[in-house]
Amino acid sequence: MKIGIVGLGLIGGSLGLKLQSLDHTIYGIANNEFNEKKAKEKKLANFVSCDLSILKECELIILALPIKDLISPSQRLVASIPRGTIVTDVGSVKEPIVNKWEKLHPLFIGSHPMAGTEKKGVDSGFGDLFKQAKWIITPTQNSDLNALKTISDLIKSMDCEICQASPKEHDEAVSLISHLPIFLASALIETAHTKNNQSLLGLTQKLAATGFADTSRVGGGNEQLGLDLAMNNQINVLNSINNFKNKLNTLEALIKEKNWELLSKKLSGTKEIRKNFID
């Protein structure tokens, strides 16, 4: 297929590399001439340009833009997409994006690959990012069935597992397992950063190992993404934070009360529950 990718950062660049390896012809849109040059050097697409007019060649277009640019797209972008071209996005919230784009384009289907790293920008893409990743598609009653099948087949061809949910269900679920961890990790990092005790801070920084690295990774990533998630999935994020605080308060009370037996049961229980989330 002739596939357009608008945005060649971590997700868009990785898509460009992967889809080229599957013999698709990729038309990549960079946001400025500097990134256009770098994307060409990294061969993120067969054709790279800042000129949106190259999208007229495409049978399918993937919007790999920041959330704010998906919710409030430029008129130039909207006008450059042929009405007969299938369109999807890779944004990590779905309700506001789907609500917007279903009004703008008849063949739009929302989607979201559950893949990423703490890196961003045109240098961050790599072809194996989506290997065995879960990829959520969020069709609605307005969705075109042929567009849905085409996007689903493309996702499966990248060795991804498809999950299907409504935009609302998606946003509730990812607030718990994707958005909440960003803010928990941020709080953890700030807690460990004991500014008032430089001696302790020096020791904790030396001792920080894989456990701290694993639990804090998403707090050291793209700060704009965290802000966009809080702004555009606010109610679900706040509900998740509130639920977490209640659970943490329960653990705090058990420690204060020296109720070691019940604390042990809690820790054993969460150890077992975790197996249902992590293969």
- Cβ atoms of residues 26 and 18 within 8 Å: no
Task: Name the phi and psi angles at 253, rounded to 5.
Answer: -65, -40
Strands 134-138 and 108-113, how do they pair? antiparallel
Q: Where are the domains of the chain?
A: 2-165, 170-274
* pLDDT tens, N- to C-terminus, the chain (279 residues): 999 999 999 999 999 999 999 999 999 999 999 999 999 999 999 999 999 999 998 999 999 999 999 999 999 999 999 999 999 999 999 999 999 999 999 999 999 999 877 778 888 888 899 998 999 999 999 999 999 999 999 999 999 999 999 999 999 999 999 999 999 999 999 999 988 899 999 999 999 988 888 888 887 777 888 999 999 999 999 999 999 999 999 999 999 999 999 999 999 999 999 999 886
Query: Does the structural domain 2-165 have CATH classification 3.40.50.720?
Result: yes
- Give the C-alpha separation, 95 to 132, whole Å: 25
- 170-274: CATH, from 3.90.78.10, 1.10.10.10, 1.10.3720.10, 1.10.3660.10: 1.10.3660.10
- Cβ atoms of residues 11 and 34 within 8 Å: no
Q: Which two tokens stand for residue 224?
A: 């704009």
